[in-house]
Amino acid sequence: MKCVLCEASTDTVLWQDDHLRVVYVDELDYIGYCRVIWNAHVAEMTDLGDADRAHCMRAVYAAESLLRTLLKPDKINLASLGNFVPHLHWHVIARFRDDAHFPQAIWGTRQQASAAPRARGVALLQQLRQGLVHQMGP
Ligand SMILES: [Zn+2]
């Protein structure tokens, strides 16, 4: 069966090593949306050993803390679903009270026709990249 997360993708990679990659998800409604994708095709956190699990969460927490620092969101949403794509990945999403789906999950019912767009640009990507290197290593 084909798996989109096993295939080479066009994602904007912010940081990666042999085990995982942190990518920026370019969503119109969400300026602060990262995904931590485990490279090997496993479905669940408990498919990983303790060290790998800790490494995966370290990347999730690094992305979370950077989004908090850089964007000052009202809330961070962390989600690991994988019902459609059973390949271990975490969504790390900065949420704002005036975003398109708040207080629903971003996959829930849209609450507003259009959320106020926020400037992001290249600076945010550079800051995320630098911050991840700082927290995770080169
Ligand atoms: Zn896969």
- Taking a 5 Å cut-off on Cβ, the residues next to ion ligand 1 are 3, 5-6, 41, 87
Distance 121 CA to ligand 1 centre (A): 30
Q: How far is the CA of 79 from the centre of ligand 1 (A)?
A: 17
Residue 121's pLDDT is what? 67
User: Which pLDDT score, from 0 to 100, does residue 18 have?
Assistant: 97
Contact 31, 124 (CB under 8 A): yes
pLDDT of residue 115: 64
Tally Cβ neighbours within 10 Å of residue 56: 21
* 79: β partners: 91
Question: What is the whole-number distance in angstroms between the Cα of residue 6 and the centre of ligand 1?
Answer: 4
Confidence (pTM): 0.92
Q: What is the pLDDT of residue 39?
A: 97
Tell which residue, 71, 89, 75, 80, has the closest CA to residue 131. Answer: 71
Q: Which residues pair with 75 in a beta bridge?
A: 95
Per-residue model confidence as pLDDT tens for the chain (138 residues): 789 999 978 889 999 999 999 999 988 888 899 999 999 999 999 999 999 999 999 999 999 999 999 999 999 999 999 999 999 999 999 999 989 999 999 999 988 876 655 666 678 999 999 999 999 998
Instruction: Domain 12-136: give its CATH code.
Output: 3.30.428.10
In a 3-state reduction of DSSP, which class is residue 100? coil
pLDDT of residue 31: 86
Instruction: Give 28: exposed, middle or buried? Use CB within 10 Å, 0-12, 13-18, 19+.
Output: exposed
Question: What local confidence, expressed as pLDDT, does residue 120 receive?
Answer: 62
What is the Å distance from ligand 1's center to 75 Cα? 29
Run of H or E including 124: helix 121-136
Q: How far is the CA of 114 from the centre of ligand 1 (A)?
A: 33
Dist. CA 22 → ligand 1 center (Å): 15
Each domain of the chain, given as residue ranges in start order, spans: 12-136
Query: Residues of 129-138 as b/e, b for ≥16 C-beta within 10 angstroms?
Result: bebbeeebee
